[in-house]
Structure 1
Amino acid sequence: MKLKVSGSGKHAFARVLARCPQCGKEAVFENVGERDTGIGNNFVCGQRKCPNPNCSGHLFVVLNSGKLIASYPAITLDFDTENIPKRIKETFEEALNCLAANCYIASAIMVRRTLEEVCEDKKAKGNNLKAKIKDLESKIVLPAELLEAMDELRLLGNDAAHIEAKQYDQITEIELDVAIEITKEIMKALYQYTNLLGKLRALKNGNA
């Protein structure tokens, strides 16, 4: 994102409510310095600090008319990593980082790579991702809608990964938001629901 500086001046701090890119906590960030800096056309730049005492992470912010429009580190979508295998977690986090940086093609490729990691983790076999997803149907219990969604996500990433694909440069943020939400649901169903049920049963046994 390019910001054109057409002026300079001190501005009162604007309230910044955001999810910390370092610790993941949603909070109103603390101000750093004496004031924010205006650069013209209602754009204001400044520094903030995460109020979580276990984090205190630094954040550069850019606001326009008081609205947060950019930050560094970039603020990614929320993602519950509990019980997600390490390689799958890291791959999907890269997809989120690419999306936050507006790198939509790269994000789509990493969403597809996440599905490949899931298939590998579940020992699905096949010569390509389509065959592996088909084999996966016999190894896991997922609603038919989520299995169908996996195949749709495979096509999205496949287009992004090949330069000759007709639609590779037309991937939108909205399309990726949906793809990422579906991928989250797939991972919840495969790795987190059973763990959540185990916690519930442990609580019931403790009260028995």
Structure 2
Amino acid sequence: MFGFGRKKTVGKRGEPLPESHDGPPDSANPSGLCPRCEKQSSFDFVGSLPLTFDGGYIVSRDGPNVPTFHEQATVMLCRNCHQGIAIIEEQWTGEHRSIERKGGGISSWKGFHWWPLVGATLHKAVPVTVASAYHEAALALSANCPRAAAAMARRTLEAIAVDRGETTGTLAQRLANMSTKGLLHPTLSDWSREVRLIGNTGAHFDPINDVSPNDARQLIDFIRELAKYIYVLPFELNERRAAKP
């Protein structure tokens, strides 16, 4: 329960390895998925600066009073790609954000925004036209604009259809053609229709059927998997074959 006696993962030289963590790093957990290289890594702390002050002060006997803050910007360095990332963090006390002033516990800093954006880039095998539209969708989602994210997810799907040779007809017709040609697995084809429909909702005003952040996140996650299926897996297979003697 408390982690006593827990075995640590070590590398070939006996060095401690970071615990697997699906999310990006922050001061509370300086290991995880690097937003730049998208590899599991540990991170070195570079420094932090206060961002949002809460009106309080730490009274000092020997110097000026120090204003307290509940948000900070932290920079860390990935040990895998040796590149820096920026994290916007908020202070937590126990299980609550410190600004809520609820309960007590250990103080920690947890991230809620990362730069570069997590999952905002696609593999080098993905065409620029597709990757660019996807990047805008991810940017919109990170800015809490789910309708814009859904609309750009739909545009990404259109870019994929054009890249696969489907340049005429409605998007629905293009997706149907791709499915008929075997370019889309039936499950992917069904999901593509969801992207098209929710993307339409995001692009046009509809007071009843709006786009939630979760809708937009699922669409972007799907687009990422679709790009992997269409572009990345064939690319990696060809590289593997080329590497064989």
Q: TM-score, normalised by structure 2?
A: 0.65
For the pair 1:31 / 2:71, whether they are aligned, the reply is: no
For the pair 1:166 / 2:180, whether they are aligned, the reply is: no
Q: Which moved more, 1:96-105 or 1:110-119?
A: 96-105
Identical positions, percent = 21
Q: CA deviation at 1:179?
A: 1.5
CA contact (8 A) 2:51 2:73 kept: yes
Query: For the residues of structure 2 that align with 1:64 and 1:177, how far apart are their CA atoms?
Result: 25
Q: CA deviation at 1:60?
A: 4.9
Q: CA deviation at 1:180?
A: 1.8
What is the match of residue 200 of structure 1? 240
Name the aligned partner's letter for residue 144 of structure 2. Answer: N
Q: CA deviation at 1:68?
A: 2.4
What is the match of residue 72 of structure 2? 45
RMSD of aligned residue pairs (Cα, Å): 3.1
Name the aligned partner's letter for residue 213 of structure 2. Answer: E
Name the aligned partner's letter for residue 92 of structure 1. Answer: Y
Query: For the residues of structure 2 that align with 1:188 and 1:22, how far apart are their CA atoms?
Result: 18
CA contact (8 A) 2:52 2:72 kept: yes
Distance change >3 Å, CA 136–CA 69, structure 1 → 2 = same
Q: CA deviation at 1:105?
A: 1.0
Counting matched residue pairs gives 190
Q: Please say which structure displays the higher CA radius of gyration.
A: 2
CA contact (8 A) 1:21 1:76 kept: yes
Within a 5 Å distance, the mapping from 1:90-101 to structure 2 comes to: 90-101=132-143
Within a 5 Å distance, the mapping from 1:108-187 to structure 2 comes to: 108-164=150-206, 166-168=208-210, 171-187=211-227
Distance change >3 Å, CA 57–CA 140, structure 1 → 2 = same
Name the aligned partner's letter for residue 194 of structure 2. Answer: E
Larger % of helix: which?
1
Q: TM-score, normalised by structure 1?
A: 0.75
Runs of 5+ unmatched residues, structure 2 = 1-26, 55-67, 93-107
Q: CA deviation at 1:64?
A: 2.6
Query: For the residues of structure 2 that align with 1:95 and 1:184, how far apart are their CA atoms?
Result: 11
Q: Which moved more, 1:45-54 or 1:142-151?
A: 45-54
* Secondary structure of the corresponding residue to residue 39 of structure 1: strand
